Every structure is written in C-alpha cells, then in structure tokens.
Structure 1
Amino acid sequence: MRPDRDAVDLSPVTESSPALPAAVLWDMDGTIVDTEPYWMRAQEKLVESYGGTWTHEAAMTLVGSGLDRSARILQEFGVDMPADEIIQLLSTRVMEQISEHVPWRPGALELLIALHERGVPQALVTMSIGRMAHHVASFLPADVFSTVVSADVVTESKPHPEAYLTAAATLGVDIAQTVAIEDSVTGVTSAVAAGAAVIGVQHLLNLDDSGADRIWSTLAGVTPDDVASVLAEVRTEQSA
C-alpha cells in the first residue's frame, strides 16, 4: 500500500500504459469538496438554536455517515425536529455556504476534468441528498458526471455497498473494472464491499486500517493514467 502520493509514478504515458478504468466513482463531501466544516457549522447552529451544545468530537463521529444517522444524533443532542426536516435544513444551509465559496479539494477538479476529457464515465456517489449533489455538480465547468447516486435513491447508506453497486449498474460497467475515490472509512468500506478498486485520499480521518487499496495524501498532480495504474496493480495483486 502506498503511504502517500509521493510514491505515485508520474512518468510519461507509453503504449504499454494500463487501460483506463471502465468508470471512476467519486465520493463528494471531503473528496471533491471540503464541505465538512460547512456541515459542522450548520450542525452547531441548529443544536444551539435548541439550547444545546455541539462539540467538535460529536461532529467528527458523523464524517462519512448517512444523513439519517446524523439526524438521529442531532435529535439526541436536543434538536426537536423530524429527521427529514433536519436533513433538509442542514442541506440547505450547506448549499448556501457552497454558493458563496466552492471549497474544492486539491487536485479533485483537475482530475475530474481530465478523466472527462479522456472519455472515462464518472459517477457521483454520495450520502448527501440529491439536490445538494446536483448543486455541487452545477459548479463544474463540464458535465462530468454520467449519473448521480445520492442518499435519497438508495435504501442502504454507506458503509453498505448499495450506492456503489447502483452507480456501476446505472453506468452499465463491471464494478471490478472501476476505481472509487473516497476520504472516509465508511465510504472506503462501502466501495471495497462493492468490489471496486479503492483509492483513499487522506483528509480528516485516518485511513490506514480502512481497507483502501491505495492511500494518497492528495489528488494534486494525479492524472487519469495514475488512476489506471492503480486499477491494473490492484487486479494483478488480487490474481497473484
């Protein structure tokens, strides 16, 4: 397992370069956009509006979780609202912050565009609700996502593999020929269980024991051929 991006081979493409993945499946919060501070701010304001105190430690336990779980935890902190209303309110407040400033993660926007230009299908696989996922996608300079799988179109949230399996099925590709990019243990678990080759991008949570096939410190400077190399290497390792 590569400990960081420095070990990635950035040598020029040759005729023997590995084939590009059938698709690349992207997590959103923390992977493409650094929205976790926005979520934490929205959660804190909501809990405080009910006279409670929201802690950073509590907020960190929700990183990568489905919004249904987040709503239940907030209710335990005194938020007297139905779960769906909590989800909708938090999502709206996060979307408002995104509209003021899109917090792209390093290298994510560039890699999304590069993969699109190379003709690689891409899916957004997020446990945020659909209107927020499409809101983030609307800031991209190209229609890079062939499909969006969000919390409101699956029965089971991550770490269940349903979301990733749904994305591959919608794209009409073999999940084993895809690469998933994630930043949380919950998301990595979901993608690994689905059967994708998984790149974990270190951010707020330690991914050392997450089960990711590769762990990188950043996507800055990553090319489609780097992603293709991961898929080829992982499948070779698994067949050895």
Structure 2
Amino acid sequence: MTNSLPAAVLWDMDGTIVDTEPYWMLAQERLVESFGGTWSKDAAMTLVGSGLDRSARILQEFGVDMPAQDIIELLSTQVMEQISQSVPWRPGALELLTALHAAGVPQALVTMSIGRMAHHVAGYIPFDAFSTVISADVVVESKPHPEAYLRAAADLGVDITRSVAIEDSVTGVTSAVASGAAVIGVEHLLSLDDSGAAVVWPTLDGRTPADLADVLAGVHA
C-alpha cells in the first residue's frame, strides 16, 4: 500500500535548502573585525539556527557598536550579495522541491532570515515553489518557538500534524516538533542526535515525495 503524501511540506532555508552558513559566518567575521574585535568559528557555530535578533545581541557582545536591526539588515545584505554570485544549493533540495511541486504538494518556506532574503533565495528556484513564506519579520517568537511553523500551516489551511517539516539545526527541529509536524532532520553542521526529529538523514540527495510519505506514516503508526 502506498502511503499518502503529506498535506504540506514546510522547509527551513539556511542549511537546508541552501548552504548559506559559510556566507553568514564570513559576514559576521567581517563585521566584528571592522569594530576591532575577533570572531571565531566556535562563536559562529553557536548562532547556527538562531533567530537574527539573538545573533545581533551576540555580535554586540563581541564589540559591534550598532543597533540590532542595523546589524540584521547589514548581514542579510552581505549574504544576499554572496548568494547572487553563487547559489549554494544543498544536495537534493532543489530536486525534492521540484518533485513535490510536480506532485501538487503545498510547500512553505519557514525561516528565521528576514523576508527580503527569503524571497531572494526563493527567486532562484525555477518555479513558484512556496505558497507562503514565513520569515523572522512576520513572527513574534523566533525558533525554537513553534509559532513560525504553526503560522505556515494556518496560511496553507492544512493540519500541521499531517505535514512534514525539514530542518538542519537543533533549534529548528525543536520548533517544528513543538508545532506537531513530522520532522525530518538533515544533518549539516550540527549533530541532530536526540534532537527529537522523527528521522535523521545525512542528505536529501535521492529522496522523493514517497520517502516523506513514509516518514509521516511512521509517525502516525
């Protein structure tokens, strides 16, 4: 028996669809150094999956003497400029987005990047992939709070418990699990062991809508 496809697929962006984390790290390093500070990979890793408001506060602690919103806008612009030069697709992400679109499964982008950056990335997908985009500037609570995922499901008019979320960070997995979605963790920079994801895959390469249907069926078995 073939399992039913998800009511929707809810995608994280940074680290899941595109490998922008090195772009963020470079922008953070340049900003901290411009104020005479020193930025490290260890410091950068603590921000993976975090909301930009938290990232801005940490950067201020490292000596960046700018308002938080100005930090967010500057970093986002610099990351967008790097994306424009080279879109760093994660393995299998574009192919799975395409297959789900062809199968008629509604998809949402659920990211803690700001809206203009989310739409910038979405614009490189060669079709209108997302029925809704939930970004940091349209929610009150950032991940790991479930607000963003709950809002995405509400916008799509689907049952969150019949939806699949795809995430690459513990913060994102925590958010999606709390919303009630079936969560697939795709490991990238951080281990997702004991994160709460229903399954953890090393990559999306070769994955199909049927694989997502199997995960959802397993959650509800």
TM-score range, shorter-chain basis?
Answer: over 0.9
Q: For residues 149-184 of structure 1, give each alpha carbon's deviation from its aligned partner in whole angstroms, at most 9, with x where no partner exists.
A: 000000000000000000000000000000000000
Q: Which residue of the partner structure matches residue 24 of structure 1?
A: 9
Q: For residues 107-128 of structure 1, give each alpha carbon's deviation from its aligned partner in whole angstroms, at most 9, with x where no partner exists.
A: 0000001000000000000000
CA separation in 2, counterparts of 1:52 and 1:227?
44
Q: Which residue of the partner structure matches residue 195 of structure 1?
A: 180
Q: Gaps spanning 5+ residues in structure 2: where? A: none
Regions of 4+ moved over 6 Å: none
CA separation in 2, counterparts of 1:209 and 1:81?
37
Q: Which residue of the partner structure matches residue 162 of structure 1?
A: 147
Q: Which residue of the partner structure matches residue 196 of structure 2?
A: 211
Deviation at 1:86, TM superposition (A): 0.1
CA separation in 2, counterparts of 1:211 and 1:20?
22
CA separation in 2, counterparts of 1:217 and 1:211?
16
Percent of aligned pairs with the same amino acid:
79
SS of residue in 2 equivalent to 1:123 = strand
Tell me whether 1:100 sits opposite 2:85 in the alignment.
Answer: yes
**What are the within-5 Å matches in structure 2 for residues 109-148 of structure 1?**
109-148=94-133
Q: Gaps spanning 5+ residues in structure 1: where? A: 1-15
The partner residue of 1:78 within 63, 70, 78 is 63
Q: Which residue of the partner structure matches residue 153 of structure 1?
A: 138
Query: 1:215 is matched by which residue type in structure 2?
Result: V
CA separation in 2, counterparts of 1:26 and 1:130?
14
The partner residue of 1:184 within 130, 153, 169 is 169
CA separation in 2, counterparts of 1:113 and 1:188?
23
Q: For residues 182-238 of structure 1, give each alpha carbon's deviation from its aligned partner in whole angstroms, at most 9, with x where no partner exists.
A: 0000000000000000000010000001010000000000000011110011111xx
Query: 2:135 is matched by which residue type in structure 1?
Result: S
Alignment RMSD (CA, Å): 0.3
Query: 2:10 is matched by which residue type in structure 1?
Result: L
Q: For residues 56-107 of structure 1, give each alpha carbon's deviation from its aligned partner in whole angstroms, at most 9, with x where no partner exists.
A: 0000000000000000000000000000000000000000000000000000
Query: 1:87 is matched by which residue type in structure 2?
Result: I
CA separation in 1, counterparts of 2:30 and 2:127?
34
The TM-score with structure 1 as length reference comes to 0.92
Tell me whether 1:221 sits opposite 2:175 in the alignment.
Answer: no
Q: Which residue of the partner structure matches residue 8 of structure 1?
A: none
